[in-house]
Structure 1
């Protein structure tokens, strides 16, 4: 085991050498827009991003899918950017842009050569101030979203697996429906409903503007004021977080997928939100169990017993709650019951035994290397700064993350497994081929 300790010490030394503090300047405009600036002149690029604090959890139960729909709709154009011109404007200046939506937020970002910073700010201010939301755009993006659902969920192997986990673990909280929402709800929605959703959530005082890269801080502040300062604030959206009752009895669910030939067993637990310390402890447990070829589940089930074609354990961290998900796909006609037992045995092991010190050092090294690698591009830095502010209310938590992980003890790992990974507080999902012929 000494080679593991040496590897861990070497990797931690490497992480220490690269884990430099991310310096930033932050402030609020009078309209409530929170601005974060990070200067890095190592390459002539700049990332401009806007994160809105609106996700699928903010939707009406009869109008799900709105937040994700706006991820697409707000590329349609504005009063000053003609329909179909958005991508051309970005690419013609050497940039690339994209957006994504979660249950908690919607994120728009672009990376430009640094001499195009002003273009990036103008386009994002246009998106925020006066986008064109009309019947043509709604109808066009409705078809785009339907095609995305067909590709990513309806026709993708295991595409609906995670949504079935959410549905099983959440009965009250709006995390219970998928981010892409219901196509029937989108079809039934009227144009005034879409316009009202934008007016309610896409406000400067419900957003974070992050600029990272080769910038002059003082000049950038002037540009931010020029392009965003006159955008009016609106009533700050209020949220009443729905409380879930504790799970006190195993939830057993079965789902069928016409796109798969091999079944899967999925063991899932409801866990605390992403800003908690326990969420990071559970993250470390996920790496211990399936992070890499020498992790516990991978080595046991894929290398030694060879009864799993694929196995994994990972936290799914969100603002209000999280999930801890373990899954396995059988190999060599192994039964789902045998795979579930192997997973349960490894959970029991981390609940009853302290991780050996050498294995713990290796685990710490894996986590530290990942954190360092998560901030290697300006796009990643911009995203991580926005996340830090929006979900922890402390942007500097981006610089404190490594120290927090380093402070987690072996005893905490065992205690978290005991607290959250209990058999009577979980969902067992049997995800089967459409025929349903596979036995458990």
Structure 2
């Protein structure tokens, strides 16, 4: 029922679209604002004249809760997302994983709901639900028929204000989280290596800790640890309610005031800066684990954007374009150079970049060596592709293709009210404005070949680099069989 968000966000996700699809996507915003969601005769008179899609609006309740409304009337549905600006980066040593554990416990009852009753009520309303935890945030979301929005908001507001659970429920659920860690991290060599690579890459930043938590901390965690985290961070001024779908701003304002407005205001705890010190030399991790193939992961310390830099000159936009040039579409540079032809060195290769985040961000290159090739060869080949751009630059046609596909991917997001709500909430967590996506697109359109060449030369030296290499070890058949027998997660782990 719950899941962890990948720390890679959306940065390498340039859509793989056809040329025709791209052309249609570029026209989509104007068409979206004009075309009716249904024949006029099927709509009430008052609704027939309303635009199908309107820009989002934001306001704040007296208790500090931010409310963001995205009208999109193409279907009679609504999405509610409650975002809390708290994640694993807000934890302290000894209770790592508590943000994610609390996400699980939020389904375990309130004074008026028994454990598990929240999910049963959502299903009875004809809705679907889930939740997630990342380094930066925790989110809860439901999609329901729009006429059930009032009831759905009442349920979410109740657990945000009054979540509680018996100790026995916590003891059962902590076992679910521990099993989740075993399945998603400890039984996955690449995930386990990535966890340790983060711990090597970051020294002061809380990003060095895993979102799911260290197993020793999960084993020692108490119900009171989760309750204290809830009391500390789940306050209206540290949260945003995002409603997207077939709604009106005035309607949502009234419902938000009705259900969330009475929650008492409390101060958000002061966050102290945890600046990452300058890296002074390459770092390496050799990681051994039972696996069939080697794996190489290179991460570089690079700039990012925040609300103050959104309109300022920054290398982040060129880094984003660079990631797309390397691995943003079928046939991009890494795939062509490393995985194709008789001299190929890798079975797969990828690139990603963390554009935004409450903590420091990275640019990553990964590869799986082909049969007979070494991890060192893949590492060298990955770096060589960045070096080639640093030396030769990028042609205008290739640059234009990447930009066009990025604009298309951003436009296609509007096909989903859930994607719109997710984007608006994520931007709020990062302190970005409602029109951040449009401004990002304009920044990307303005990136030049010279800027991409410059960042490729500036940020990919040894002093910014941490390399992790997975060295396969023999798989113990008895251990593998034992894991397979116990692989099924306890009830309630996932939907």
The two structures share one fold, judged by TM-score above 0.5: yes
Is it true that 1:16 corresponds to 2:26 in the alignment? yes
Superposed CA RMSD in Å reads 2.0
Shift of 1:12: 5.6
- The unaligned stretches of length 5 or more in structure 2 are 1-16, 34-53, 476-495
Is it true that 1:299 corresponds to 2:336 in the alignment? yes
CA distance in 2, matches of 1:282, 1:337: 24
Kept in 2, the 8 Å contact 1:302–1:309? The answer is: yes
3-state DSSP class of the match of 1:160?
helix
Q: Residue 448 of structure 2 corresponds to which residue in structure 1?
A: 409
CA distance in 2, matches of 1:111, 1:373: 19
User: Paired residues, what number?
Assistant: 429
Shift of 1:157: 4.6
**Alignment partner of 1:312 out of 337, 342, 350:** 350
Kept in 2, the 8 Å contact 1:11–1:365? The answer is: no
Kept in 2, the 8 Å contact 1:241–1:320? The answer is: no
Q: Residue 278 of structure 1 corresponds to which residue in structure 2?
A: 315
Is it true that 1:140 corresponds to 2:163 in the alignment? no
Q: Residue 427 of structure 2 corresponds to which residue in structure 1?
A: 388
3-state DSSP class of the match of 1:248?
coil
Q: Residue 299 of structure 2 corresponds to which residue in structure 1?
A: 268
CA distance in 2, matches of 1:79, 1:375: 38
What is the CA deviation profile of residues 316-359 of structure 1, one whole-angstrom value per residue up to 9, with x for unaligned ones?
A: 34222111110110112111111111111111112122200111
Is it true that 1:375 corresponds to 2:414 in the alignment? yes
Is it true that 1:174 corresponds to 2:206 in the alignment? yes
Pairing 1:232-381 to 2, within 5 Å after superposition: 232-258=264-290, 260-275=291-306, 277-304=314-341, 305-317=343-355, 318-381=357-420
Shift of 1:165: 2.5
Q: Residue 39 of structure 2 corresponds to which residue in structure 1?
A: none
CA distance in 2, matches of 1:103, 1:145: 17
Shift of 1:274: 4.6
Is it true that 1:227 corresponds to 2:259 in the alignment? yes
What is the CA deviation profile of residues 378-416 of structure 1, one whole-angstrom value per residue up to 9, with x for unaligned ones?
A: 111111111122213312213322212112222221222
Q: Normalising by the residue count of structure 2, what TM-score does the alignment of the two structures yield? A: 0.83
Q: Residue 154 of structure 2 corresponds to which residue in structure 1?
A: 122
CA distance in 2, matches of 1:430, 1:274: 29
